[in-house]
Amino acid sequence: MARYYCPYCNPKYQFQKQSSKGNLICGLCGEDLVKKPFIRLNQIIALVAASSLLLPLIYTFIFLIKNQLNPPNKNYQANGTLMIIIKETIS
């Protein structure tokens, strides 16, 4: 019953019947049932909105864990051989 619904009746009390032509009709009002789409447009929009909020958070946590496992090198001192070469070129 999840595939078809009556747009006029309450979903709690709907039941399907088949007409003499073979179409599915509502058991309460007799209207033709409408097929529900598998994915609706508002579901796609909600998925894009949720992912735009969650992906940066996930990205941040991945790099936080990566930096905890392999901390970056914080030695900002210049290389000793490079300093010798610079001193020789200046003098």
The model's pLDDT over 15-71, given as tens digits with 9 standing for 90+, comes to 777 777 778 888 888 888 888 888 889 999 999 999 999 999 999 999 899 888 877
For 34-48, what is each residue's pLDDT tens digit? Answer: 888 888 899 999 999
Q: Which of 38, 10, 33, 6 is nearest to 22 (CA)?
A: 33
pLDDT at 27: 83
In degrees and rounded to multiples of 5, residue 87 shows phi and psi of: -65, -40
